[in-house]
Amino acid sequence: MTINRQWVLKSRPTGMISEANFEYKETPLPGIDDGELLVRNLCLSFDPTQRGWVNDTESYMPPVGIGEVMRAGSVGQIVESRHPDYKPGELVQGTGGWQDYVVATPGQMMSASKLPQGVTPELALGLFGITGLTAYFGLLDLSEPKPGHTVLVSGAAGATGSVAGQIAKLKGCRVVGIAGGPTKCQWLVDEAHFDSAIDYKNENVAERIAELCPDGINIFFDNVGGEILEAALDNLAMNARVILCGGISAYNSETPLPGPVNLMNLVITRSRMEGFIIIDYLHRVDEFVADMGQWLQEGKINHLEDIQEGFENIPNTLQRLFTGQNMGKQLLRIADPT
Ligand SMILES: NC(=O)c1ccc[n+]([C@@H]2O[C@H](COP(=O)([O-])OP(=O)(O)OC[C@H]3O[C@@H](n4cnc5c(N)ncnc54)[C@H](OP(=O)(O)O)[C@@H]3O)[C@@H](O)[C@H]2O)c1
């Protein structure tokens, strides 16, 4: 009998999420009804937002319940179909979770959509997945990058930040990235063609922002929050845009962290700070695919995939995002397509 390996949520983390918060289980293969697909997960996406999904608080999605399979983005291959438009062997993208097999229902949000021809599971979850989409719409819908603008990106060597910065470069901006450690900073300048990089683990961020952005920041794409957000707010140009994409510095904090003390700088500089959630843009995915497909074909976007292996390593792979071990889009390959 084929079994379905799963990682379920055992306890809600306080502080850093770890393998101890999850339990390994083996269950029988699920059956399917009319309109459903049985999908074998091939590749899992790891996203900082998963840390929020295991808190017992309502957010833009309901929390994962104790005993439930951990929610995760995935690409899988259809092994059985009772839906007229989907055939066994086809690759689909959805929210398959930390398990080998999932029952998916095409038509339901984030359940099963076919991969475009020629797109690999890794590319579908990475550059053409949620993080690429987030970089594209976060930057281009919440701000208007213009030639000569100074754009600052935090979490710059990550999946979202690296793409946001490169799109800003394509729009003619001068781009400064903030990332942890010399290797990531070197990659930003040498491979992703950022103009400069600030190593927040080894440099004084506030001083370096002031040095590298002498005329102020026109656009700040923030993935981190906390002290880095505060340092950026001290260096805004007039009419700046502060895009709140995420605040990873606080995701594993046991107590709420204080907000920036200098929000009045938004008033002084007549600037706007705005957050967004990418699921509101899913209906516009075709605009993104058209632009990103062309940029990729023209060699204008450089992206990294950090691919881990092994079902047993799933919980620890999520932690890599919060320790900065990942270099590029964090994925884990469970199986190859047949
Ligand atoms: N608004 C939305 O709809 C949306 C959608 C997707 C993602 N996001 C947000 O985008 C951000 C990036 O997500 P991603 O999936 O692209 O992950 P990622 O950037 O590929 O990986 C996370 C990175 O965050 C950095 N980091 C971890 N802890 C940190 C801390 N305490 N201070 C500063 N940096 C820290 C690490 O890089 P270093 O080595 O440089 O520290 C790590 O590599 C997250 O905040 C996420 O929540 C938002």
pLDDT digits (tens, 9 = 90+) for 154-199: 999 999 999 999 999 999 999 999 999 999 999 999 999 999 999 9
Position 286 pLDDT exceeds 80:
yes
d(CA 142, CA 294): 22
| Pair of tokens at residue 174 | 């001068």
| 251: DSSP letter | T
Report how far residue 187's alpha carbon sits from residue 185's, in angstroms, rounded to the nearest whole number.
5
Ligand 1 binding residues, C-beta < 6 A? 47-49, 130-131, 134, 155, 157-161, 179-181, 184, 223-224, 245-246, 248-249, 276-278, 321-322, 324, 326, 330
Average pLDDT value for residue range 321-335: 97
Cα 181 to averaged position of ligand 1 atoms, centre (Å): 15
> By C-alpha distance, which of 184, 231, 164, 169 is closest to 204?
231
> 2-54: per-residue pLDDT in tens?
899 999 999 999 999 999 999 999 999 999 999 999 999 999 999 999 999 99
CA-based radius of gyration for the chain: 20
pLDDT band for position 334 (50/70/90)? very high
| pLDDT tops 90 at residue 134 | yes
| Sequence-distant contacts of 208-211: CB under 8 A, at least 24 apart | 209/152, 209/176, 209/234, 209/235, 210/234, 210/235
Pick from 146, 321, 153, 329: nearest CA to 243 = 153
pTM of the model: 0.97
* CA 130 to centroid of chain Cα atoms: 6
Q: Which CATH class is domain 3-126+303-333?
A: alpha beta
DSSP state of 40: E
Cα(230)–Cα(211) distance, integer angstroms: 16
Query: Each residue of 101-131: pLDDT tens digit?
Result: 999 999 887 778 898 878 899 999 999 999 9
Q: List beta partners, residue 189.
A: none
Residue among 136, 223, 228 whose CB has most ligand 1 atoms within 8 A, to mutate:
223
Average pLDDT, integer, range 293-320: 96
Q: Hey, CA dihedral for 277, 282, 284, 287, is it positive or negative?
A: positive
Mean pLDDT of the chain: 96
For the chain, percent of residues with pLDDT exceeding 70: 100
Q: If one looks up domain 130-279 in CATH, what number appears?
A: 3.40.50.720
Domain boundaries, the chain: 3-126+303-333, 130-279
Confidence of residue 1 (pLDDT cuts 50, 70, 90): low
